[in-house]
Amino acid sequence: MKRIILIIMLFLGVLSYSEEESSQKSKIEVTSQNEKISGENSDKNIGLVLSGGSAKGLAHVGVLKILDQEKVPIEYVTGTSMGSIIGALYTSGYTVDEIEQIVLETDWISLFNDQIPRDEKGAIRNYFEDKNSLVLPMEGLTPKLPNGAIGGKSASEKLSELFYGVEGRDDFTKFPQKFALVATDLETGEGVMISKGSLSAAVRSSMSIPAVFSPIRYNGRLLVDGGVVRNLPVQDVKVLGADYTIGVNVGDGFSKIEDKNLNLFSVTGGVATIAGRAEVERQKRMLDLYIAPDLSNIASTDFYKAKQLIELGEKAALANIDEIRKLSDPVKYAEIQKKREEFRKTWQNSYSFTKFEIVGNKKFDESYFKRFIPKNLTNLKTEDLKEMVNQIYQNGSFANIFYEVKGDTLVINVAEKPSNYLVTTGNINNEDLAAVSIGFQGNKLIGNSDIRYSINGIVNEEYGINGKAAVALGGNSKGLITTDLLIKKDIIRNQESGEGTYEFSNRIFRMGVGFGAEIKKNFVVGIGGGYQKSMVRDNVDSSKNVIVDFPYYNALGYYDSRDSAVFPTRGLYLRIDYLGASSNGADFNTINAKAEYNKQITKKITITPGLRYVTTNGSGIPETYYPKLGGYRSSDYSFEFRGIPSSKYRGKSLLIGDLKLQYNMTDFMFANLIFSNVNISQDSFSIGNEMKQSYSGGFGIKTPTGPIFLGVSTTRGEDITYFLNLGYDMYAE
């Protein structure tokens, strides 16, 4: 009898649809015979379980699309890792279409990069960080491994943005669909079910992949990815109240990993899968419906395959469509949707606070943060809080920063970086052979000023020790006091000038102090002075041996908005240096000016015109300050000109023009062609008519331990030069 009544009702519905199309949207749509028997399990309280799986977790969206399409009333949701992100989006009020749009438009890889773009850090921070290769934190004088490759600031920022509207709703079980997520307590090894607190912070804790993201302190616990102990949290959705459970598992399958895809994510994910297999099997036995998309050809890092992953999720759900349609309940579904819509209306676009609280700080007291926190704590929007977090993070002393809304209190959680670091740089080339720098870098807080320091050394045929210390004044390093100590020996053989061949060794002792200020982002001016002793031994004519010691003074100004100091793709670099001395047998001055403009003419091609003019004038000029030409680098008034041996030509004035064409193969692989022209003059403040032209090209790679560049160059009258450069040049500009 019930079946007959149902058929009659359906028939009347079809007639109504044909007669009144305009009212169709308010009626229950019937599209297939299978739906006529739907609702078989509609009296059940349905819970949805979303597993972790990094990029594979994007397949959850496809399953949600089918469940939503079939009007399955989901009342409870639990998730782990990527499953917690998708689950939180769904239960907080985003529609399935909006979630799909978010997934497709988000640059997921960027969430694994906490580096502030170079052109946004400011010139003073770049002064310290441009040439760091391998950096290890130190506990006292003992190097230690970092607790994660990534602090997680970018991920926290994105999550705060996505969940800003519900940041103040700290009980996830009061959402229209009850929600909880699972993380792992690193100190106890327990799985932790989280259903209260800051939604963004909770999700961030659940996705803290060990060795990739640093653990996060949340509600007194040190948490990492929930997938470590319970990647398919079925028991948790039952605790919420579900008596019928749908589990979507995207992290259970093993897939072949090609050598080229071996990385921290794939290895970590594979280990987690192995370690959690037994627990996943136990959780699966509690499920009523198990959905496992075929992701055997998908890697855990394939975020760029988001569209394909969604389609694979849909396919897996459609393979279980008969069971899914038995769960359809349009009436109950509509009720839940109405609750979701009403909840969405309660989203806040701003928050007001009466006070703030700093959590996790040890070195930095509250007064340090106060300067970055808005003075007026009312009506703060997501853009305001994002700007606040970025200003604090600019300092470079924090691994992660995120905020929480707790009633009328703005809670700012910080994870401080260690104070000291072991820093190494390396350089191998066909001129100097090998140079390795090992030193220390760090910062101390005195009042509101950061003391940053570094010391390094180089030893080879040309040897040297270069020690630098600096005090960065102000909370965000806008002022700078530097000290400089240089002990160095240069050897120049069989080189040429307007006076013929010259060959000498030059021993330098120099110490000085400088003062600088970043008066505008990336624009620095500075003055300084010091003492230098230069001992020149002429290997051709000993009568020309000379010892010159003198005090000197200098001034500089530069602007640097390049996105990279090694292989820039955009940005402007302008610099002028002035140095003078007028005592103890040295009466001279030098001017060194450079301009470089990097412009992307296409997404892959960057063109860079450059110009440099150097001149020196006076008497008793030390060899250190004679403009010299040749080699692949610029340092100590010896200027880059590929195709000519280092420092081969000398004059009193040099005008160097470059035109570089760079092909940006990827974000870290580059090829370039460079044409250079120089005018050499033996007179001060002159252009000169002795000209040299150089053609060079090569291939470069950015690596975590510094750049690698392989190239070839030629200049008429010179041998073809091949060169391999590994690492940063510690003495370069």
User: In this predicted structure, what is the pLDDT of residue 679?
Assistant: 95
φ/ψ of 620, rounded to 5, equals: 65, 35
Provide CB contacts within 8 A for 54, sequence distance 6+.
81, 82, 209, 251, 265, 269, 300, 301
3-state helix, strand, coil in the chain (%, to 5): 25, 40, 30
Q: Residue 435 pLDDT more than 60? A: no
User: In this predicted structure, what is the pLDDT of residue 542?
Assistant: 74
pLDDT tens profile 617-632: 998 888 778 898 887 7
b (16+ CB within 10 A) / e for 68-89: bbbbbbbbbbbbbbbbbbbbbb
pLDDT tens profile 218-273: 888 888 898 889 999 999 999 999 999 999 999 865 445 454 444 444 555 555 55
Averaged pLDDT for residues 396-403? 84
C-beta separation of 553 from 531 below 8 A: no
The identity of residue 12, as a single letter, is L
**What string of DSSP letters covers 554-567?**
EEEEEEE--S-SSS
User: In this predicted structure, what is the pLDDT of residue 518?
Assistant: 87
Provide CB contacts within 8 A for 704, sequence distance 6+.
133, 134
φ/ψ of 574, rounded to 5, equals: -130, 135
The least confident of 32-41, 129-138, 291-300 is 32-41
Number of residues in the chain: 733
Q: Where does the pLDDT of residue 606 fall: very low under 50, low under 70, confident under 90, or very high at 90 and above?
A: very high
Averaged pLDDT for residues 522-546? 85
Q: Residue 584 pLDDT more than 80? A: no
- Which pTM was predicted? 0.71
Output the six-digit token pair for 263. 């990385």
Q: What is the tally of helices (H) and strands (E) in the chain?
A: 15, 32
Q: Residue 114 pLDDT more than 90? A: no
Positive or negative torsion for Cα 469, 472, 476, 479: negative
Output the six-digit token pair for 52. 């972790």
Q: Where does the pLDDT of residue 522 fall: very low under 50, low under 70, confident under 90, or very high at 90 and above?
A: confident
Q: Residue 457 pLDDT more than 80? A: no
Pick the more confident residue, 516 or 429: 516
Average pLDDT, the chain: 81
The CB density around residue 475, as the number of other CB atoms within 10 Å, is 22
Bridging pattern class, strands 244-248 and 46-50: parallel
Q: Where does the pLDDT of residue 10 fall: very low under 50, low under 70, confident under 90, or very high at 90 and above?
A: very low
CA distance 669 to 709: 10
Pick the more confident residue, 430 or 614: 614
Provide CB contacts within 8 A for 260, sequence distance 6+.
none
